Chain A
């Protein structure tokens, strides 16, 4: 006679996972990160070409080349505390002898460069911008001027000191 073995039904056991200590630890971690959280501003980079020669200034005129980029020079004078005192714009090799006064206003600088950029685009030419900067001007203003010029569309920007002979 066959005997049927009864399958043993396993007893139902509730798994007991101790969540409370884990929760305690997690809250501690959360508190730590909340207290140390400081959203820092993101750092960015501006690629620069290093100075090639001593001093800045305008070199002697060269023969006219149609493909040569037009060169613009902005001279920036500074106050004793390193702010912008005055700015003037000249086009290198241009017939206009007098430099254009941009005052100490970055917005005027920006507007003038925008006009030049538009003209260059219409003429299908490129432009080179030289910033002749007073020794005392602080980095914040140097970066501000370079930043404005890049945003307007200039890619060839050279910050150089003002040639002492041309002061």
Chain B
């Protein structure tokens, strides 16, 4: 097992490097001078040249990449152009809020998804299956940012039960696990949970159906095992794949939160990305994407390892 873990980590190194390269190049596919955002409109040639040297934009690209990577490895992602604060601390503060949102959404989405999926798989082609499948397909087809708007319309505008935007009373920014703060989390979390709910339902339904039609289930029943015991075998066989899908979904929730965070003004990494894009704050854009992508790579690695630890067949493959 240890050898497998080590091997997975070694495999991840080239991926991490390529991810860093893509993030680095993002700034250089930007049309125009990367200095545009920092330079005043009436800047002299001299000032421009000075800044270019200061930011290192006058060096050859590979050298720039090397320097940038060296600094990044040491936790220095540069300073935000808009606020002047270090990018890393800005990103980490925002990511914490995104993680809160994603974890709560994951609990909602995965619980419902597993429940609907197992029930639909067990009662295939009955009306229960039809309802669960319809819910699932609606979940994956919903433009989630629109669902967020509709929920705000119903629960904030019409019923006035829950706050529409923000992450706490008074915009204090400090997150606490009390109702005053949780009420701000309810709508964004439900909105975020819809897509994973749909995808987990579809996956688990297909898995349960497939496993139940295999011969060994027949054998278990013939042996006289109770339905609860058969169910336990089904769960064991479905777990590795279901786990992989859920891990991937958690990663998508963390990385793809920009639309929902924009709708709810949730102060997470997505909202940070949004302001970085529109203020053309390139170091912040680069840093946020790098941190989120590395998070995703790390999560995938953890899922691989978890999968291998419950399914010994994967290690050999």
- A joins B in a complex: no
User: A-contacting residues of B (Cβ < 8 Å)?
Assistant: none
User: B-contacting residues of A (Cβ < 8 Å)?
Assistant: none
